Structure 1
């Protein structure tokens, strides 16, 4: 179970690495356009620690308490880069990004070009996703956005297709030849229906060369797409600690073909959490009224499941995990708790 010490850690993470005592857990927010290859710049959202007072601000479909455009507090900061699922956006996990920024992290989230809410013409370009993710890591570490990042303290968060992206960016090598037999056996599962629909348009999922991101020191992977394509040898290069999240009632990527193969193949046992009663889209930020109106299919939870209450625990556990993995001498004391065990997250 998530420990109370871990939840408290989410409130004070990395305070020791920030200058002075004025910073009070406030988050700043800005948007960036970062070049990647010859295509149009990628749209990126940046949350970060600041000493400036926040105010209610529109962030995508959400209103968040942030200081837009404020100065970044601290140097040598840890960075977390977020990768959304198919058809998502840079604000798909806005509440998690805000919690991390309030805890002292710089958080960058991109719209994956060709696989976001505006354009899904390249939903099967999984190598392109990984390349885009790596470009954002490299750019923000190099100073894009104005933060001074400690390159030894870079972590990643990925959901669904973003979970696959993060694993591949960290050095994982999927065996995409496994997709055909899987979809022959399970043609009605979401990813197989998507692959079939794209094939009808002349677009195909093909084996590809993946470009790893600069070294990732910790990974949070939630409901990873194509999890069955990762074997023990395919994940052997991942040395970073992994926190793995599973929606207990995932109707999109159902057990046992997605989370379970990743958990079994990782070279070190992950910090595995099962959110009992959660559906796939409950991993997304709790919906605002605008999002409920625009995309009701991603906002409906099972009767009795409280997405907002779950996210309070989810975000605290993620902050505590990154603290354990990325903290340095002088930071706040490490949150306790065993790793490598499957935990129930109600």
Structure 2
């Protein structure tokens, strides 16, 4: 065989095996692609991102105010992989958990995020109302449906292995998707016991709003409860597992979480002043029959679950970007990432890597 032909075949073989070589150490580059999904709740549009394993080398992209460890529209690594959808907290963004998204994607998962309408950093007009309390899980479902119906993404996703994760209200959303049933009137009792709580800051306004419509706050939440399935069932059989961080779960009673029938992992901060552990994560833990793990972050407050802040973001949001003495957010997230990966590999499959 001529030397030139042998060399040509060798090069072809190397190119064919490149994806396997990229996976050899279990870590890949990460691509990121912006998406826009129709929201069945508001009939508007929801921006978001898809993170995915890539054949290209590791890189980073500045998407203000975040430094994201992914390359825009990098070449996809072929093959169907488990999908994880991440839901942000009240007033958050579709990049609040970008470091967890890129970590999972670098280890073989496709990860999607979304910006919940009327409950994000530039529009919080729906917080505490039915379109948010009832609509959040429906919006996550819409993202899943969009990806599974898309010609490009459907080829990269294993539809039988889908999980969800979220922080704060996103943790609440994740629990709904695996079967939890809320009781919204529990907000009333909570705010009577903790009237000065930040979570109850809008309680007086909501009472006044209810009164302007000739209602009591109890009647207002009663209507939200009736609307719970207005846009469809919150539980989605396509979702097989939930990773909930500092979940807003005071609105679940024991029977409300006993209906969860898929694996759940809970994370919380020891000194969380917004999602008080005894009223939230620890309140529901004993009643979740499918709980696979629960972990406390010593001394940590609520915002520790947001991705470590860039200098730009730290100047803009000093409270959310600061942690109590003795808490290293970067180290905390390194552990969260490892735990999330282990959980989703166990519950959804090994992410191919």
With structure 2 as the length reference, what TM-score do the two structures score?
Answer: 0.83
Give the deviation of 1:198 after TM superposition: 4.2
More helix by share: 2
Report the aligned-residue RMSD: 2.2
Choose from 236, 240, 256 the match for 2:258. Answer: 236
| CA contact 1:190–1:253 (8 Å) conserved in 2 | no
Once the two structures are superposed, the pairs formed by residues 133-212 of structure 1 within 5 Å of their partners are 133-143=140-150, 146-147=153-154, 148-201=156-209, 205=221, 206-207=224-225, 208-210=227-229, 211=233, 212=235
Distance in 2 (CA, whole Å) between partners of 1:185 and 1:142 is 46
User: Any unmatched runs of 5+ in structure 1?
Assistant: 1-17, 333-346
What secondary structure sits across from 2:228 in the alignment? coil
Give the deviation of 1:176 after TM superposition: 1.3
Give the deviation of 1:51 after TM superposition: 0.4
Comparing both chains, which one has the higher relative contact order based on Cα–Cα distances under 8 Å and sequence gaps of 6 or more? 1
Q: Structure 1 residues 60, 237: closer, same or farther in 2, change over 3 A?
A: farther
Partner of 1:223: 246
Q: Structure 1 residues 120, 52: closer, same or farther in 2, change over 3 A?
A: same
| CA contact 1:138–1:213 (8 Å) conserved in 2 | no
Once the two structures are superposed, the pairs formed by residues 33-52 of structure 1 within 5 Å of their partners are 33-37=36-40, 39-52=43-56
Partner of 1:6: none
Distance in 2 (CA, whole Å) between partners of 1:75 and 1:234 is 38
With structure 1 as the length reference, what TM-score do the two structures score?
Answer: 0.84
Whether 2:31 is the aligned partner of 1:31: answer no
Distance in 2 (CA, whole Å) between partners of 1:129 and 1:139 is 16
Question: Which one has a bigger Cα radius of gyration?
Answer: 2
Give the deviation of 1:286 after TM superposition: 0.6
* Number of aligned positions between the proteins: 313
Partner of 1:253: 275
What secondary structure sits across from 2:283 in the alignment? helix
Once the two structures are superposed, the pairs formed by residues 79-158 of structure 1 within 5 Å of their partners are 79-124=83-128, 125-143=132-150, 146-147=153-154, 148-158=156-166
